[in-house]
């Protein structure tokens, strides 16, 4: 009786991974919203190109880059997270299968996400530097500190993953 109860409990625990599926669907909706925001920003840039300054254009283009980087981050989390934690995605023979997907595990996904966050933070910092006259010195200082913390954390995470992979393969 106890072995049967244990087996049922283990099946419930394993099936609980499907609780995450709606979360990944929500991230897909978030990606659609980002695509909409990208389109709105691009149309706005096209409509105002003759009236805006070069720095305003650069800020607008950086906003497009920022949105794209966040969308890339979402794709990595959706595809990588779902295939790592919920269920394998059967795309072995698909011609558009991303190369990074075959090498992804939880650690690799964390490093890729950290790198993406550093990129997004860098874009925000660049936007601040371009438009620095509209920002308080303390605000800029905190953005630099946060970016450096993201960068340091990302490097340390990558280094720790490297050490773990070396130990695992030894």
Condensed to tens digits (0 to 9), the pLDDT of residues 29-47 reads: 999 999 999 999 999 999 9
pLDDT (0 to 100) of residue 23: 95
| pLDDT, position 168 | 67
Give the predicted TM-score (pTM) of the model.
0.73
> Are the C-beta atoms of 83 and 89 separated by less than 8 Å?
yes
Domain count, the chain: 1
Mean pLDDT, all residues of the chain: 87
- What's the domain range around 150? 2-169
Half-sphere exposure of 1 (CA within 13 A, CB side): 0
Could you tell me if 39 and 63 are in contact, meaning their C-beta atoms sit under 8 angstroms apart? Answer: no
CA torsion angle for 103, 104, 106, 111 (degrees, to 10)? 90
Looking at residue 120, what is its pLDDT?
Answer: 85
Tokens at 60, concatenated: 């607008």
Closest by CA position to 115, among listed 129, 100, 98:
100
CA angle, 4 then 15 then 164, to 5°: 105
Q: Which residues contact 45 (CB under 8 A, 6 or more apart)?
A: 52, 57, 60, 61, 64
- pLDDT for 50: 95
Return the percent helix, strand and coil in the chain, to nearest 5: 85, 0, 15
The residue written with tokens 């906003």 in the block is: 63
Give the model confidence (pLDDT) of 74-83 as tens digits.
988 898 888 8
């Amino acid at each position: 009786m106890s072995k049967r109860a244990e087996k049922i409990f283990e099946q419930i625990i394993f099936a609980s991974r499907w609780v995450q599926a709606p979360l990944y669907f929500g991230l897909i909706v978030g990606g659609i919203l980002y695509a909409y925001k990208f389109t709105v920003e691009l149309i706005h840039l096209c409509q105002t190109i003759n009236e805006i300054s070069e720095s305003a254009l650069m800020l607008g283009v950086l906003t497009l880059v920022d949105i794209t980087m966040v969308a890339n981050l979402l794709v990595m989390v959706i595809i990588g997270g779902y295939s790592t934690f919920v269920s394998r995605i059967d795309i072995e023979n698909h011609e558009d299968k991303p190369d990074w997907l075959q090498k992804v595990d939880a650690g690799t996904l964390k490093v890729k996400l950290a790198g993406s966050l550093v990129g997004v933070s860098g874009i925000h910092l660049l936007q601040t530097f371009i438009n620095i006259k509209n920002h308080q010195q303390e605000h800029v200082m905190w953005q630099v500190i946060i970016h450096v913390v993201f960068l340091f954390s990302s490097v340390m995470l990558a280094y720790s993953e490297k050490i773990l992979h070396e130990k695992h393969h030894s």
